[in-house]
């Protein structure tokens, strides 16, 4: 099973154990942490709820974690909803009308909110006003409810898909970027400590290199390596354990999985590395456009293996070298 996509209930439980509980424990994203801490301190001093915040960037970089730290820092409750689950205005109305003073409302995948829901958010964010249309046709009337102070935190992997009216209503917008290998190494060491397993330095480096600069994947790889070490009766995780775990999972030294390789190979071989449009590529791979854009491409671009040109996608010389294709 793919490490990027597949995870178990047990993983979710462990993820919660590994999730940092305060800003001091949160490694990386230094500028964002500094900014947030100032915003939150100022809001606390004024006894107000913090401004609405937008977090954007690739999956697995800690947007939900940061939102929960914001809530914790403000001594507030967090309510979490996924954008696509809000289908009717009534769904959002039910959530907004249950908000208590100071609450944090976290809406994940906010680029997938439909237009009417999005428009309902505008007055809620700006004037703390919930406008409901009751009834239909001539008998319809608008009821306006005032909401308590609250902080909306929205997260998205696709900030370019947000409308500018929505984007402009956030007091702060923060771009989470990939972590450095050193930061991932520090996260792996911290997580190994929390899981109570020893890990050699060269094993940490191997995990860091193969985890796509992403803490969630680093922690998963660590857990799978721990499983492997425990099954084999090893007391600690060595580089050899990590390498065997990677081989079992079909992940290479740079964290590429079969789907990433398939994508690059399709561009290089099937299309002779002529620029390929996203729709063509999606059809050739039987993959969803969104998955290609959100899951595979950001990391391949970051590695310098893929370029998005106006005329289409091309694989780079570095990708050919890594895949050993002349």
| Residues acting as catalytic residues | 63-64, 108, 157, 216
Q: How far is the CB of 317 from ligand ADE (least distance, A)?
A: 33
Q: Give the closest residue to 26 by CA, choosing from 200, 197, 176, 173.
A: 176
Taking the least distance from each CB to ligand ADE, the nearer of 179 and 305 is 179
Q: Say if residues 61 and 174 touch (Cβ distance below 8 Å).
A: no
Q: Say if residues 302 and 285 touch (Cβ distance below 8 Å).
A: no
Footprint (CB under 6 A) of ligand ADE, residues 83-142: none
Q: How far is the CB of 290 from ligand ADE (least distance, A)?
A: 24
Q: How far is the CB of 229 from ligand ADE (least distance, A)?
A: 20
Q: What is the C-alpha R_g of the chain?
A: 22
Contact flags string 40-79 toward ligand ADE, x per CB under 6 A: ----------------------x--x--------------
Cα–Cα distance list, 251 to 1, 65, 85, 223 (Å)? 11, 26, 32, 15
Strands, DSSP E only, in the chain?
A: 53-56, 78-82, 104-108, 129-134, 141-146, 151-156, 172-175, 198-199, 236-237, 306-309, 312-315
Contact flags string 136-175 toward ligand ADE, x per CB under 6 A: ----------------------------------------
Taking the least distance from each CB to ligand ADE, the nearer of 40 and 166 is 40
Name, in order, each residue with C-beta under 8 angstroms of 163's C-beta and a sequence gap of 6 or more: 118
Footprint (CB under 6 A) of ligand ADE, residues 177-196: 187, 190
* Overall size of the chain counted in residues: 326
**Can residue 215 be called a binding residue for ligand ADE (CB under 6 A)?**
yes
* DSSP codes, 131-166: EEEESSGGG-EEEEEEPPP-EEEEEES-GGGS-HHH
* DSSP codes, 244-289: HHHHHHT--TT---HHHHHHHHIIIIISTTS-B-HHHHHHHHT--H
Q: Which stretch binds ligand ADE (CB under 6 A): 13-21, 31-39, 166-174, 228-236?
A: 13-21
For CA atoms 105, 36, 23, 254, the dihedral sign is positive
**Can residue 207 be called a binding residue for ligand ADE (CB under 6 A)?**
no
Taking the least distance from each CB to ligand ADE, the nearer of 23 and 234 is 23
Q: How far is the CB of 13 from ligand ADE (least distance, A)?
A: 14
Q: How far is the CB of 29 from ligand ADE (least distance, A)?
A: 7
Taking the least distance from each CB to ligand ADE, the nearer of 105 and 192 is 192
Contact flags string 17-46 toward ligand ADE, x per CB under 6 A: -xxx----xxxx------------------
Q: Say if residues 166 and 172 touch (Cβ distance below 8 Å).
A: no
Taking the least distance from each CB to ligand ADE, the nearer of 26 and 305 is 26
User: Which positions touch ligand ADE (CB under 6 A)?
Assistant: 18-20, 25-28, 62, 65, 187, 190, 215, 219
């Amino acid at each position: 099973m793919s490490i990027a996509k597949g995870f178990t209930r047990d993983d979710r439980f462990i993820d919660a154990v590994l999730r940092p509980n305060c800003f001091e424990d949160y490694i990386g994203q230094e500028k964002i942490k500094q900014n947030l801490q100032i915003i939150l301190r100022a809001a606390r001093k004024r006894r107000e709820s913090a401004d609405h915040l937008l977090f954007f960037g690739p999956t697995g970089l800690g947007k939900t974690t940061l939102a929960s730290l914001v809530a914790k820092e403000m001594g507030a409750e967090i309510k979490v909803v996924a954008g696509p689950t809000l289908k009717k205005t009534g769904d959002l109305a039910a959530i907004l009308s249950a908000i208590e003073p100071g609450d944090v409302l976290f809406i994940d995948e906010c680029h997938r909110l439909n237009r009417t829901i999005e428009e309902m958010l505008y007055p809620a964010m700006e004037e703390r006003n919930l406008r409901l249309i009751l009834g239909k046709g001539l008998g319809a009337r608008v009821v306006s409810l005032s909401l308590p102070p609250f902080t909306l935190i929205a997260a998205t992997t696709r900030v370019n898909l947000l409308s500018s009216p929505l984007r402009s209503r956030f007091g702060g917008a923060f771009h989470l970027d990939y972590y450095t290998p050193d930061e991932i190494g520090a996260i792996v060491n911290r997580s190994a400590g929390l899981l109570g397993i020893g890990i050699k330095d060269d094993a940490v480096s191997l995990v860091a290199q193969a985890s796509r600069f992403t803490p969630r994947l680093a922690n998963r790889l660590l857990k799978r390596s721990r499983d492997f070490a425990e099954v084999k009766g090893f007391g600690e995780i060595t580089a050899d354990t990590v390498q065997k775990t990677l081989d079992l999972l079909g992940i290479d030294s740079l964290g590429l999985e079969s789907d990433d390789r398939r994508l690059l190979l399709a561009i290089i071989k099937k299309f002779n590395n002529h620029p390929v449009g996203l729709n063509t590529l999606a059809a050739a791979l039987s993959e969803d456009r969104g998955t290609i854009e959100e899951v595979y491409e950001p990391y391949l671009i970051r590695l310098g293996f893929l370029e998005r040109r106006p005329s289409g996608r091309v694989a780079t010389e570095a990708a050919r070298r890594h895949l050993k294709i002349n």
